[in-house]
Amino acid sequence: MKNLAQHPIVVISCRPPTANESPPADDQEADFGTGRQMQTDQHGATTPPDGDSPERQSQTGLIVLLVALLATAAVSLGIYLTPVSPEPPATKPSTAAPAAWSLEKNRPFHGTPAQDWAEGEAAIRLPEPVATGAFTAEQVGTALGKVKEFLIAGRLNRDVLSGRELEPLYAPLSANLRDALRTELEDPMSRPAFATKLAPGFRLLPGEPKINGTIHVEPGAQKGELLIKTNMVYAYAFDIDNPRQATEPIDVVTSVRIDNEFTYRDGGRWPAKHRGLDMATGRGFYFFSACPFLGQGLLAPAYADPRPKITRGAQSSLEYFDPAARLPDEITC
């Protein structure tokens, strides 16, 4: 099996007013803070911007650690890189010769945990909308529909995956988040949290990606807010010109684990540009993906990784396809 390429995804968020703030009226400009972008050095360590005071640096460090849980600045970006080389788990020696494997392009997921998952848009299953907080069931259904539209655009739309087009990704968002995301996605390392981009020179097989996961709705932190959490694994099957380059299923099947949280806002409390999907965070990992492309925020199949393979038991890979598994805090690239 390939050396398990794990890469942490960046996090972006747009801050709502705090509970003690009065939201501006429609004809007033909202002050949602000023974004401060974290810096990443050559070793992958995340540091505060130059010029920060020690007190500010300490505060910023907390933001990096908590950004997945708290909405901080208007646009907060954190990159978590902790290179390690973990030892493979001990496995019992087997006397049986391994069965030969060859890629069947009409069923590339065969032999992986994703083989029986649903595929494409139908695999993104929304919960039955019910009245939540001050939102009616119909309003909850509208919010869920926007989230699904965003996930389809970012994870399934072939034009978005190739990098030719990003407009479908922005369409379901509020005007506020749309503008913020346009700016942030100019940084390629911001993209994986919200959309998959394939490395140039690689292509997916014609079949749709396989998807597994859950979507949950709950009241938001403030009046007029819904919080929608998505916990998903997307499995992509890559084509290959020389099938002999692939010696096992995960040479061509990558697993992308992404946890997103969306805040949906509605009602007179919110200015018009903040109504709709107005806040988003994302964190996750790429698994079984070629390391040389990960630093550019790109997805490529494991067979493209020139590093030597390591041996791991087949069962040890199952967790990387489990949307309920804890996100790792280490990487092997």
C-beta of residue 273 within 8 angstroms of C-beta of residue 2: no
pTM for this model (two decimals): 0.74
pLDDT in tens, 1-25: 444 444 444 444 444 333 444 454 4
C-beta of residue 83 within 8 angstroms of C-beta of residue 44: yes
**Averaged pLDDT, groups of 10, the chain, 333 residues long:** 44 42 44 33 39 34 26 30 37 54 86 94 98 97 98 98 95 97 90 95 96 97 97 96 86 94 96 97 91 91 77 54 83 67
Structure tokens at 192: 């994986």
C-beta of residue 277 within 8 angstroms of C-beta of residue 150: yes
Closest CA to 225 of 193, 266, 268: 266
pLDDT score of 89: 45
pLDDT score of 192: 93
pLDDT in tens, 224-271: 999 999 999 999 999 998 888 888 888 999 999 999 999 999 999 999
pLDDT score of 242: 87
Torsion of CA 318, 323, 325, 326, to 10 degrees: 130
SS3 state of residue 48: coil
pLDDT score of 328: 78
pLDDT score of 103: 81
pLDDT score of 315: 39
Rounded CA gap, 41 and 242, in Å?
Answer: 37
